[in-house]
Amino acid sequence: TDIEPLLEPCRATVAANLTAAERDSIEVCAFYWGTRPGPEMGGRYQVLVSADTVYDPVLVEPLLESLGWLLSDAPAAFALVTYDRAIGRESAYQAWEGLVSSFFESVEEVAVGDPRRLFQGEDRDEVTVWILRSPSRKSHDRLCGNAALIDQPM
């Protein structure tokens, strides 16, 4: 997250769901979208999970830049990005849908729906999962040579 007050709840979630040994290999830290990850972000990632992070159209491009950067060194890596249309941030979802294919070679959209709605007699799909693989050449060029990307604050 890039929102400081959310770090403690994230840490509490990690602590509640992992063993002590697993917690030792996890660090929850702030990451500002559109910045290059610093050395504290570790090395290669195989899977990135991003839930409810598409909420402001201005932040869509920096989020995509960051995902592309984090996946750029691992050819088999992928990102799972989800959002719930029921929240109603249509302008952010439209920005995402308009840009995502320019950042990744492989983009798959899966409408999952909310299983609770099925029991309430509603069957419309609300939750969408995006599977992103292979940052595009355009994305790579942006990440490697774009002055708009700044180094992460220390």
**DSSP string spanning 37-88?**
--GGG-S--SEEEEES----HHHHHHHHHHHHHHHTT-TT-EEEEEEEGGG-
Band of residue 2 on the pLDDT scale cut at 50, 70, 90: low
At 102, give phi and psi (nearest 5°). Answer: -80, -10
d(CA 31, CA 86): 26
The pTM of the full predicted model, rounded to 2 decimals, is 0.75
pLDDT in tens, 24-68: 877 787 788 888 777 766 667 788 888 888 999 999 999 999 898
The answer to whether 37 and 76 have CB atoms below 8 angstroms apart is no
